[in-house]
Amino acid sequence: MEREIMFRGKRTDTGNNAMWKYGSLIDYNMPGAPYRRGIRDRYYGVLYPVASETIGQFTGKKDLKGREIYEHDIYFDEVELDTGDRREYYICVWVDEWSRFVWLHIGEYVEYIDNGVDYIEEHNEGMMNTFGLNIERMHYAGNIHDNSELLKTAQP
């Protein structure tokens, strides 16, 4: 089964009210302008400039509510403990060295950003998971660009 190759990115031409665009990733140069990246809208074909740091690829998977799962999405699982319930947060990440998407526990994600793939290869006994994570139990919490506060508050 083939996976639809699609991306999303936040528009750079809408000021503080940046909107997400979904479609094909396009790299382009305009005469006299710097190199840019854009998303060609999947429905209308219009090319929108997007911030490179917000670009994320569609994983080819959807959650139980039918929401497309993209790189940099944050999901959480409610974990029952004797001391009460706790939310465990995971981020969908494309790991170039492994050529695949993985779910990283939020603490692992921070370490991965700081130290690269060597950290997760060395500390693989933890929460790192390929797409075997039980998405049926997971709840969408946003993404690292719109919900960056989760990177600080949700760490163990």
Q: Give CA–CA dist 74/23, Å, rounded.
A: 20
So where are the chain's domains?
7-54, 60-153
Q: How far is CA 135 from CA 14, 108, 117, in A?
A: 33, 18, 23
| Structure tokens belonging to residue 44 | 């209308």
Q: Reply yes or no on whether the pLDDT at 128 is more than 50.
A: no
Q: How far is CA 102 from CA 70, 88, 91, in A?
A: 11, 15, 8
State which of 6-10, 25-29, 96-100, 120-124 shows the largest mean pLDDT.
6-10
For position 144, what pLDDT does the model report?
Answer: 94
* pLDDT tens digits, one per residue of 102-119: 888 888 888 888 888 887
pTM: 0.83
| Structure tokens belonging to residue 50 | 């997007």
CATH homologous superfamily for 60-153?
A: YopX-like domains (2.30.30.290)
CA 110, 148, 84 angle in degrees (round to 5)?
Answer: 75
Of residues 154 and 54, more confidently modeled? 54
Q: Which residues contact 30 (CB under 8 A, 6 or more apart)?
A: 36
Q: Give CA–CA dist 49/52, Å, rounded.
A: 9
Q: Is 42 left (phi over 0), alpha (psi -120 to 50) or beta?
A: alpha
